[in-house]
């Protein structure tokens, strides 16, 4: 068995370090072997050794500049070190070398998504799907591009096609859960996440299953960050124009009802599972989420107090709570989206 074949066999069963050792052994005999250099880059990338992976990918491309697959690996490594322009150039070179293969076009799509060129990403992913209509990775690249572009129906259609080919595909199932979550189909989203967590607990564990709680807090942070200063602005204007104070009190009422309504709509359908999984989060994140929940609850009496009497103390309390809520979000280290 060749060094490359042995390394691939080891990588297929998750033994990445041993696979890398097999590649390095092969490179001692043929140090300019482009296939082995490309494999080394991929193995280093998968293990998180990004600078070393980039060096290996550069060497592989230099050894065999006409191999499209090496340019794809080079593009992946460049993306990981945020060299987006260089990554796109490498992906385009792969597509030039193999325009009839889907993988280079998928690589172009990934690079364009990183650059937020979503129209170009959709076009490139669509080209890959046109070449390989039943390819799950290409369909999922198209689904991701459509989702980032805000085309949820198109994203769902592409993910559904991928799942029709491979019902167990984790990326497709995650995309469906994400789309359900965004459309507030909380029960459906949690059902999908429970299945993913059962199959891949390391990737879709407690952080993903606590999405209803964390997502609710993320939504409140965004809403209150706009609503509380706006209410304060109306309160200031109300010193000279009394109707503005009434508008501010009305805004406080709206925030109270929206907060309660959103909590009911998200947390009740989610059931007990997110609360159970909250205790499984890392300690720092768990404390941040709990602090956010407590602070979110304190908003309600402050806003209600202001709505009832237009007291400046209530506004001051609301601003203090907002600062704590934002700080808890920073400490949590996420924006509450699915998954981590």
pLDDT in tens, 95-106: 999 999 999 999
Residue 91 confidence (pLDDT) above 70: yes
Last residue of a domain, which of 190, 207, 224?
A: 207
Residue 289 is predicted with a pLDDT of 94
| Residue 87 shares a structural domain with residue 119 | yes
| Residue 201 shares a structural domain with residue 105 | yes
| Band of residue 340 on the pLDDT scale cut at 50, 70, 90 | very low
| Residue 28 shares a structural domain with residue 171 | yes
Quick one: 272 exposed, middle or buried, by C-beta within 10 A (0-12, 13-18, 19+)?
exposed
| Residue 273 shares a structural domain with residue 137 | no
Give the single-character DSSP code of 49: -
Residue 180 confidence (pLDDT) above 90: yes
Quick one: 49 exposed, middle or buried, by C-beta within 10 A (0-12, 13-18, 19+)?
middle
Q: How many folded domains does the chain comprise?
A: 2
> Is 118 a domain residue?
yes
- pLDDT above 70 as % of the chain: 98
Average pLDDT for 65-73: 95
| Residue 16 shares a structural domain with residue 135 | yes
Residue 238 is predicted with a pLDDT of 87
> Is 319 a domain residue?
yes
Quick one: 83 exposed, middle or buried, by C-beta within 10 A (0-12, 13-18, 19+)?
middle
Last residue of a domain, which of 189, 207, 225?
A: 207
> Is 55 a domain residue?
yes
Range of the domain at 11: 3-207
Tokens 């564990």 found at? 205
Tokens of 281: 């989060």
Residue 310 is predicted with a pLDDT of 83
Instruction: For residue 330, give every residue at least 6 positions away whose Cβ sits within 8 Å of its Cβ, in sequence order, or none.
Output: none
DSSP 14-37: T-HHHHHHHHHHHHHH-TT-HHHH
| Residue 219 shares a structural domain with residue 201 | no
Phi and psi for 122 in degrees, rounded to 5?
-65, -40
| Band of residue 159 on the pLDDT scale cut at 50, 70, 90 | very high
Residue 1 is predicted with a pLDDT of 61
> Is 339 a domain residue?
no
Last residue of a domain, which of 168, 190, 207?
A: 207
| Residue 186 shares a structural domain with residue 244 | no
Rounded CA-CA distance 169/80 in Å is 24
Give the Å distances, CA to CA, from 233 to 245, 247, 273, 323: 9, 10, 40, 17
Residue 335 confidence (pLDDT) above 70: no
- The pTM is what? 0.82
């Amino acid at each position: 068995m060749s060094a490359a074949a042995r390394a691939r066999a080891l990588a297929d069963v998750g033994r990445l370090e041993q696979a890398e050792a097999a590649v390095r052994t092969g490179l001692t005999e043929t140090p300019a072997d482009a296939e082995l250099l490309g494999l080394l880059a991929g193995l280093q990338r998968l293990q998180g050794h990004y600078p070393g992976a980039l060096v290996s990918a550069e060497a592989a491309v230099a050894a065999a500049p006409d191999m499209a697959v090496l340019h794809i690996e080079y593009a992946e490594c460049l993306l990981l070190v945020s060299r987006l322009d260089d990554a796109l150039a490498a992906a385009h070179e792969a597509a030039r070398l193999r325009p009839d293969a889907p993988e280079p076009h998928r690589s172009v799509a990934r690079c364009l998504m990183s650059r937020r060129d979503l129209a170009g990403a959709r076009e490139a992913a669509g080209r890959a799907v046109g070449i390989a209509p039943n390819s799950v990775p290409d369909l999922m690249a198209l689904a991701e591009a459509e989702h980032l572009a805000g085309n949820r129906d198109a994203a769902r259609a592409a993910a559904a096609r991928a799942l029709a080919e491979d019902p167990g595909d984790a990326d497709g199932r995650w995309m469906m859960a994400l789309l359900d979550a965004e459309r507030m189909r909380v029960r459906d989203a949690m059902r999908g996440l429970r299945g993913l967590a059962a199959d891949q607990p390391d990737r879709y564990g407690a952080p993903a299953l606590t999405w209803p709680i964390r997502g609710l807090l993320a939504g409140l942070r965004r809403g209150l960050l706009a609503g509380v200063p706006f209410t304060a602005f109306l309160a200031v204007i109300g010193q000279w124009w009394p109707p503005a104070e009434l508008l501010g009190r009305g805004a406080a009422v709206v925030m109270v009802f929206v907060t309660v309504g959103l909590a009911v709509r998200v947390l009740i359908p989610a059931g007990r599972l997110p609360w159970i999984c909250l205790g499984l989060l890392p300690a720092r994140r768990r404390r941040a989420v709990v602090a956010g929940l407590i602070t979110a609850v304190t908003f309600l009496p402050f806003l209600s107090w202001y709505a009832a009497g237009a007291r400046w103390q209530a506004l001051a309390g609301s601003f203090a709570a907002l600062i704590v809520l934002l700080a808890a979000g920073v400490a949590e280290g996420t924006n509450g989206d699915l998954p981590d």
